[in-house]
Amino acid sequence: MTKKQFKAESKRLLDLMIHSIYSNREIFLRELISNASDAIDKIYYKALTDDNLIFQKDDYYIKIVPNKKNRTLTIIDTGIGMTKEELENNLGTIAKSGSLAFKNETELKDGYDIIGQFGVGFYSAFMVADVVTVISKALGETEAYKWESSGADGYTIEPCDKETVGTEITLKLKENTEEENYEEYLEEYRLKSIIKKYSDFIRYPIKMDVTEHKPKEDSENDHEEVKVEQTINSMVPIWRKNKNELTDEDYEKFYAEKHYGFDKPLKSIHVSVDGAVRYNAILYIPEAMPFDYYTKEFEKGLELYSSGVLIMNKCPDLLPDHFSFVKGLVDSEDLSLNISREMLQQDRQLKLIAKNISKKIKNELKTLLKNDREKYEKFYESFGRQLKYGVYSDFGANKEALQDLLLFYSSQDKKLTTLDEYVERMPEDQKYIYYATGESIDRIEKLPQTELVLDKGYEILYFTEDIDEFAIKMLMSYNEKEFKSVSSSDLGFDEADSEKNNEAEENEFKALFDEMKNILADKVKEVRLSKRLKSHPVCLATDGEISIEMEKVLSAMPNNQNVKADKILEINPKHDVFHSLKQAYEQDKDKLALYTNLLYNQALLIEGLPIEDPVEFTNNMCKIMV
Ligand code: ADP
Ligand code: MG
């Protein structure tokens, strides 16, 4: 028998194949099983047009047979088989895909998509085998053939005996090396797990004889090992099933099986899209936050399947960062895969899918917020911060999409409120959406700056997280209402009269305030009369973009740029202390300096800012006591 050489550049290609196309050896099994499944699909398609051929699903299967004694692994299928020519053409020529040709000739039916397309998958067998033997009998032929090759040096073909139509591929596994233990591909548990991982949703049963321990017939304690044929794969993926046939429990079970989390999903989303790009997806919004969620270690992504075969464990491009908490998978027949099927060729379809998915998640969250507030707040507790980051990041590119998903505590009942609800409640004369920042609700409630706003009957949003104010600054306005900090220098009240009053008063005390500003030097930008204080003597207000809360956040960051807010010290003219200030100004400049510094430091304390010199501060306190 003469040995035939692989055609054309096949030798070099084969070498490339074995050494570099795939990053992961175990996928050889995925490739061979996919080919077997394609071969059965082809019979199915033949039967559609051939009245003599009846396709009885139960007759078709794939079987995996490990043989430790011979060190071989055999993959058997009852598919269409290959003629001598086909063995020659399809296996003798690398990068020739009989399946692609078939696909181009046949009109494929939904859900029966042929997997093969590149004509290289078969050769991945050489990553684990020294010798590959293919015995095949084609549908409608009487003769069977054996194709055999030990890699780059060519292959042989000869007639052989085989009763039934189909193909048997036997791999003689390589000797173990230090890095790779090829024998593991003979272990039942390992084979099972590879099949489960990549080929769980192959339409036909993948069978294997699995060892079971059974009690011996005549004894209670003695066990014997018996081989029992099992079907390893689940076959019908849940996402191909009809939504109406599935219950919440089905989705929850799948969530647990897939190890998406230890919790129960808060919401399951099942999508089947038959548009410009066809795909099915099962998405979950988890209830509990993964322990590493807000760390660098956390990796977002969805599982990606192509026609039921796993391509990628975590495809990050399918999820935007602000929805990185979503778990689940996408299966599409329309993906352009690259040759190793480990990566995607080009991402037009993927981008489309990602866009659709993002929209879907947003709408589901909106519905949840509307219909099940309690559940939504639970979700928000875990992942609200991520949504706020989403508003802030990418220069606000997603802010419109996300703004209606935000919740903030507010002075109204101290409950979480949406921006829409806030605006709904605004009295007619209120022009701005007011907010106050602080460590906690308790602390914010005690801020002197909130007094006047609350007194006007306006509601205040309470920002307790670092990100809040940054996100709001990015949002700028909601429903054409601008956001305004209760600490901003101008609260924007509509009060022409009192304004005039203040102006008159301000002029009167200008000399005093100028003197105080001199004492404080560049610690503050200005000292002035307060329009917002009622019972407190002083507070700090800010001018410009940086608020005091932002200053705190920024200065806590590594390599902070020492960004400071422009602070304004506001004095309450109705407070008794004001009288003392005036007196000191007229009679005792040292006293004025003492009072001014004390008041300034008090204002810092109220804001939760550190006072620059605590020792001096306490000494000053004592001075006035004595
Ligand atoms: P692809 O699956 O991308 O077409 P492969 O290298 O995996 O490429 O397979 C090459 C060709 O060999 C297939 O297109 C198919 O025509 C043929 N083939 C491989 N395995 C089988 C099999 N088990 N039964 C029938 N034909 C097969
Ligand atoms: Mg293939």
pLDDT tens digits, one per residue of 517-532? 999 998 999 999 888 8
pLDDT exceeds 80 at position 153: no
Q: Which of 11-20, 59-68, 323-332, 590-599 has the lowest mean pLDDT?
A: 11-20
- Residues 168, 190 share a domain: yes
Q: Which range is most confident: 58-72, 250-264, 306-320? A: 58-72
> Order of strands across the sheet with 481-485?
416-417, 408-410, 460-463, 433-437, 481-485, 477-478
Pick from 333, 349, 380: which residue ends a domain? 380
- Residues 268, 202 share a domain: no
Which CATH number fits the domain that encloses residue 571?
1.20.120.790
| 411: helix, strand or coil | coil
CB of 62 closer than 6 angstroms to any ligand 1 atom: no
pLDDT of residue 501: 58
- Residues 525, 574 share a domain: yes
pLDDT of residue 111: 54
Residue at 506 is within a domain: yes
Residue at 256 is within a domain: yes
Ligand 1 atom with minimal separation from the 99 CA: 14
Q: Which range is most confident: 164-178, 493-507, 586-600? A: 164-178
Residue nearest to atom 21 of ligand 1 (CA): 35
Query: Which comes out higher in pLDDT, residue 559 or 369?
Result: 369
CB of 117 closer than 6 angstroms to any ligand 1 atom: yes
Residue pLDDT, tens place only, 101-122: 777 777 766 556 666 766 678 9
Predicted structure pTM score: 0.76
144: containing domain: 3-231
CA 33/CA 309 separation, integer angstroms: 10
Tell the residue number behind the tokens 């290289």, with chain if given: 120
Q: Which of 270-284, 342-356, 474-488, 510-524 has the lowest mean pLDDT?
A: 342-356
User: How much distance in Å is there from the Cα of 121 to the middle of ligand 2?
Assistant: 4
pLDDT exceeds 90 at position 356: yes
User: How much distance in Å is there from the Cα of 92 to the middle of ligand 1?
Assistant: 11
Residue at 479 is within a domain: no
Q: Give the residue-averaged pLDDT of 215-228.
A: 82
Pick from 231, 266, 293: which residue ends a domain? 231
Residue at 622 is within a domain: yes
Ligand 1 atom with minimal separation from the 35 CA: 20
* Ligand located closest to 309 CA: 2
Query: Which of 37, 122, 127, 169 best tests ligand 1's pocket when mutated (most atoms within 8 Å of CB)?
Result: 122
pLDDT band at 338 (very low <50, low <70, confident <90, very high): low
Among residues 465, 457, 403, 414, the alpha carbon closest in space to that of 434 is found at: 457
Contacts of 339 (CB under 8 A, 6+ apart): 21, 118, 120
Which CATH number fits the domain that encloses residue 259?
3.30.230.80
Helix, strand, coil shares of the chain, percent, nearest 5, are: 40, 20, 35
CA 426/CA 435 separation, integer angstroms: 13
* Ligand located closest to 34 CA: 2
Q: Give the chain's end-to-end CA distance (angstroms, integer).
A: 116
Number of separate domains in the chain = 3
Residue at 20 is within a domain: yes
CB of 320 closer than 6 angstroms to any ligand 1 atom: no
User: How much distance in Å is there from the Cα of 90 to the middle of ligand 1?
Assistant: 7
Residue at 620 is within a domain: yes
Pick from 215, 231, 247: which residue ends a domain? 231
pLDDT band at 497 (very low <50, low <70, confident <90, very high): very low
Query: Which of 97, 117, 120, 133 best tests ligand 1's pocket when mutated (most atoms within 8 Å of CB)?
Result: 97
pLDDT of residue 437: 92
- Residues 14, 123 share a domain: yes
- Residues 227, 259 share a domain: no
User: How much distance in Å is there from the Cα of 250 to the middle of ligand 1?
Assistant: 35
Q: Are 7 and 92 in contact (CB under 8 A)?
A: yes
CB of 200 closer than 6 angstroms to any ligand 1 atom: no
> Order of strands across the sheet with 327-332?
265-274, 278-286, 327-332, 302-306, 309-315
* Ligand located closest to 123 CA: 1
Query: Which comes out higher in pLDDT, residue 56 or 133?
Result: 133
CA 265/CA 256 separation, integer angstroms: 9
CB of 340 closer than 6 angstroms to any ligand 1 atom: no
CB of 87 closer than 6 angstroms to any ligand 1 atom: no
Q: Which helix (H) or strand (E) holds 570?
A: strand 566-571
Residue nearest to atom 18 of ligand 1 (CA): 35
Residue pLDDT, tens place only, 274-296: 888 899 999 999 988 988 898 88
Q: Are 521 and 612 in contact (CB under 8 A)?
A: no
* Ligand located closest to 126 CA: 1
- Residues 206, 258 share a domain: no
Contacts of 455 (CB under 8 A, 6+ apart): 534
CB of 39 closer than 6 angstroms to any ligand 1 atom: yes
